[in-house]
Structure formats: C-alpha cells, structure tokens
Amino acid sequence: MISSATSTVALGISQSYQNFNQSADTIADPNQTLDASSLVALKVAQHGLEANVAVAKAVFESTESVLDILI
C-alpha cells in the first residue's frame, strides 16, 4: 500500500512538473501569443505539484508512524 501510494505520488509530481515546465515555456516564448489558457495551465500545474507534495508528506509521516509502532 505504501509502495503504491509512493509510486502514484511520484507519477503525479512528474506529470505536474512536466505540465508546469511546458506552460512556462509557452508563456516565455516570444513567438507565441500569450493567452489566459497558458496562465491557467501554469496555475493548475502548480496546484497539482502542491497537492502531490502534500500527499507525499502524509505518506512518509504515516510510514514513520507505522515504523515507530513496530519498533
């Protein structure tokens, strides 16, 4: 279960990071017309990263608690 959660979080962080970079590249490209969808996509990616990091923190804290109980 912990391994599955960790894998899911790692995938979520990776995808959010990729989306964040893609949106940032689009915004920074002087040859592209800046529109609201790029800014929204950047913000969505930011929130995705924040959410996945929060889940990762919870998983690691839970793991630590389980280990404390077992030891």
Question: Could you read off the pLDDT of 3-42 as tens digits, one per residue?
Answer: 787 889 899 999 999 999 999 999 999 998 888 999 999 9
- Which range marks the domain in which residue 63 is found? 2-70
Structure tokens at 51: 């959410």
The answer to whether 37 and 22 are in contact (CB under 8 A) is no
> Number of structural domains, the chain?
1
pLDDT of 71 over the 70 cut: no
What's this model's pTM, rounded to 2 decimal places?
0.74
To the nearest 10°, the Cα dihedral for 6, 8, 11, 17?
Answer: -80
To the nearest 10°, the Cα dihedral for 63, 46, 11, 35?
Answer: 170
Which ranges constitute the DSSP H helices of the chain?
A: 2-28, 36-70
| pLDDT for position 26 | 92
| pLDDT for position 22 | 94
pLDDT of 45 over the 70 cut: yes
